[in-house]
Amino acid sequence: MKTLAKEFDYLIANNLEGVYTIQRGNGWRQVGVPGIGQFVNSTFFDLAGMSQREKTLFFEGAAVQEVVPPSAGAPAAGDGIIVIDLMTTSPLTDEEALAYVVSANMAPSDSKISFEQTIYGRIRVWSVDLDYQSSGYYTLQADNQTGSLKATASDRIYCYRVAFMGADNSNGAHSVYGARYLLRAEAKEEAEYQYLMRLRRSYELQQSYDED
């Protein structure tokens, strides 16, 4: 059994009347309509060594570790942030990752991904309320999970962290802190026919947009 880990830097985005700019965030990029608070960061687990040994990866669990909730420099009640964490066997464009907030992996999905391809999926909605406004931290409003932990013969697991910040948020800096993605898995040999079918399926699912 192995525990695989990937880390994401934290994001600080400054809002000025609904126009955001990135103040800090290694690997983060602003996507979509210029100035609107849509941000994506991505990386991947390289499993090529396992696939070369003709083994299938069976997942025992997946998790995201974080330090604190999102925060704001001068929060106002009603400020909102949506954070999406994804680990998939199929690569996504930035636009497809953004689309996960609307249709997730429910068919038909604008994110072009199925339940089978979603190893781990989590959508959380955060907002600032009057009770905790003075703390500077957002309060969790909803937490939904959409992953399958389905075994794969793919040589990569793609990781995406997406943040949406409301255009009506208060002016100033809004932060989504760093995260660590964890996968606990074991590589096992399958019967040759099963492995070849799984390998074929993994290959078919990856014949779309892919960028290192």
What's the length of the chain?
212
In terms of Cα–Cα distance, which of 108, 89, 107, 85 is closest to 97? 85
Using one digit for the tens of pLDDT, what is the confidence trace for 112-155? 999 989 999 999 999 999 988 999 999 999 999 999 999 888 88
DSSP 8-state code for residue 49: H
Domain boundaries, the chain: 2-205
* Placement of tokens 């400054």 in the chain: 14
Burial of 67 (0-12, 13-18, 19+ CB in 10 A): exposed
Lowest mean pLDDT among 9-13, 48-52, 104-108, 112-116: 48-52
pLDDT at residue 87, as a whole number: 97
Q: Look up the pTM and report it.
A: 0.87
For 61, half-sphere exposure in the C-beta direction (CA atoms, 13 angstrom radius) is: 6
Residue 149 token pair: 């932990």
Q: Where residue 193 falls among pLDDT bands split at 50, 70, 90?
A: very low
